[in-house]
Amino acid sequence: MSDKSSFGRYRGSSSQRRYQAKQPEQSEGWDWSTGWRSVKTFFVCLRLGQPGTTSAFAGLGAIIRPYISTYKLFFSKDPDTHPFFLARQAVRAPIRLPGESASFRAHDVPHGYPLKSGLNVKDPDKPKWTAGRNGDLRDIWRAALRGSLATDGTPAGKQGKFYTVLGKDVAEHKLDDISQEINIIGQLRSYLAMAGVDLLIAEAGTLELSALLQGAPSLRSTIWVANHGSRHMDWSQVPEGIGGDIEVAVWHELVKDKKALVGTEVPATVSDTPTHPIVAFWATSAEEGQFVEYSPAALVAGIAGLGSVLPHGQHLTSSDLVLSIDSLTRSYPLCIILAALYVNASVAFNSVSGEHVNFALATAGISPTIIIASSETMQNYHTEYMAPQISLVAKFGRFIQRRSLDGGTMPRQNILTKLANLGPTSELSRENLRLIFISYRIDANPECQLTSEQLTDLRVFTGARVIYALTAPTVVGAVSQTNVFDYRSFAGRSHFGAPLSNVEIKLIHDKEEDASKHGRLADGKIFVTGPATVGGKSLLEARGYFNDDCTLSLS
């Protein structure tokens, strides 16, 4: 093996061989084509460690490979959930009716089992092996005042708190004080109800009494809720010339006058007094809307569905601080807030809420662990504030973090997270943020629907897991909701996950051919049934289809 074109040669006996690199002679020059092929062969053999390599290079490869395996063993992380669970996120019924798709349910309530209809409230005087009650709003408030429970079921005494965020000022309120205010206003309401009059509670200065009396002549009492900055004004005066006999009072003045006379007690555990429904205004636009009546049974079913949908390790706990920047007239944020109170979490409110608020400014001043927002709010925030401010350094950090999301794991907080978070979320107090609940109205502008890329950006730049839900006026809570561990990225608009455990969804097609022509991707009108649905069932006007992974998407 004395060929000059070779990169090296073997010397010694067959039992003991050593590789000695042969340096090219200056007089002969260097054959770059042949030499470079030999160099590539050297690195390939070093990487593969094949039997054809020399013992020195094979030994070096054998030394490196254990370090690589050790690094993967100790520093790699399993996906947050099994990929098979994301591949089929709902249970499909084995049969279907003509012109309809098969019904879809959540995994924890397969077909043949009853849907989740309540909170499973266990009364203290009942045996612990008996089934619990569905409960109502009184049980939620009773659990909030009771405080968290120890592992043995005894009260630990830790209560959640209410926070009012007014810019940079944060005011803390005790639940006992709020319960006392509820009792004071509740007694006044009962007196007015016995007198056969109607009561209006509204923000001071937003409505005109003369116009109200023209539209509602039966109105006899009004309670104004004055802001802290306007409490020095006299809101209890009745304007002259409006006619009629109407009483006007101010909330904080009533509470101050009756505080020494009313306690903080809550209703009995089991009461024969039926609870009344809640009427909410579902606004479809700035000029149009409809009133929707939610029965106590539907409301508690919606709360139970949202409270139990989160997997182990992501449940609402007493250490959470929940901030809603979406209006509580929507059942989705209302149910999450009530579910948080039921587990003794703290709740924060600010002076702005709705679909047109600034996400960064509305979340400043307090550091929540959970944020509830609308799809339009997050769409505007991503388009106007986040996307234009993503620098090259942030894009590099985003690329690295996206690889972790593609692998099924939430990125850890490290230097790459700080690189990815430069700029677009500097106003947001998110040191403790872990969950963002985003809801999309089924009758909203389709342009406000978030894409899969936008949801990925929100996960990367906020460091929180994102849940995307589809809501409708006749369904309490959500129609469907994405899995908290579903980090997959697709082209186009994002899906809305699988049905919750309190509803069942199927598609109604115009004709049988539409149901079978394109298989499971055929679209149809969304039909929802279950205890969380107004009237037990509801046919939504929007059209949708189920993907191969049993997630719901809008057409």
The pLDDT tens digits of the residues spanning 185-198 come to 766 555 545 444 47
- Tokens coding 30: 């260097």
Classify residue 468 as exposed, middle or buried by CB count within 10 Å of its CB (0-12, 13-18, 19+): buried
Q: What is the DSSP code (8-state) at residue 412?
A: P
Bridge partners of residue 508, in order along the sequence: 100, 525
* CA 138/CA 336 separation, integer angstroms: 16
Range from 57-66, 216-225, 485-494, 507-516 that averages highest in pLDDT: 485-494
pLDDT at 398 over 90: no
Helices (H), 115-244: 137-146, 175-194, 209-215
The pLDDT tens digits of the residues spanning 485-543 come to 999 989 899 999 999 999 999 999 887 777 765 545 688 999 999 999 999 999 998 99
What average pLDDT score do residues 262-285 get?
75
What average pLDDT score do residues 461-480 get?
94
Strand 537-546 relative to strand 524-529, pairing: antiparallel
325 to each of 28, 146, 216, how far by Cα in Å? 78, 27, 31
Say whether 286 sits in a helix, a strand or coil.
Answer: coil
249 to each of 188, 256, 263, how far by Cα in Å? 11, 12, 21
* CA 433/CA 389 separation, integer angstroms: 21
Helices (H), 88-170: 137-146
Cβ count near 236 (within 10 Å): 16
State the fold for domain 299-515. Rossmann fold (3.40.50)
Q: What is the pLDDT of residue 45?
A: 45
CB-based contacts of 111: which residues, under 8 Å, 6+ apart?
Answer: 91, 93, 94, 103, 105
Range from 16-30, 160-174, 447-461 that averages highest in pLDDT: 447-461
Amino acid identity of 266? Answer: V
pLDDT at 4 over 60: no
68 to each of 42, 73, 76, 400, how far by Cα in Å? 20, 9, 11, 20
Say whether 441 sits in a helix, a strand or coil.
Answer: strand
**Residues 415, 416, 417, 419, CA torsion sign:** positive
pLDDT at 99 over 80: yes
* CA 94/CA 80 separation, integer angstroms: 30
Are 433 and 462 in contact, with CB atoms under 8 Å apart? yes
- Tokens coding 365: 């001043």
Q: Whole-model pTM?
A: 0.78
Higher pLDDT, 470 or 210: 470
Q: What is the DSSP code (8-state) at residue 228?
A: G
Are 469 and 332 in contact, with CB atoms under 8 Å apart? yes
Domain ranges of the chain: 8-75, 174-258, 299-515
What average pLDDT score do residues 119-134 get?
84
Higher pLDDT, 339 or 457: 339
pLDDT at 437 over 50: yes
Are 425 and 458 in contact, with CB atoms under 8 Å apart? no
Q: What is the pLDDT of residue 407?
A: 86
* CA 429/CA 216 separation, integer angstroms: 44
Higher pLDDT, 4 or 88: 88
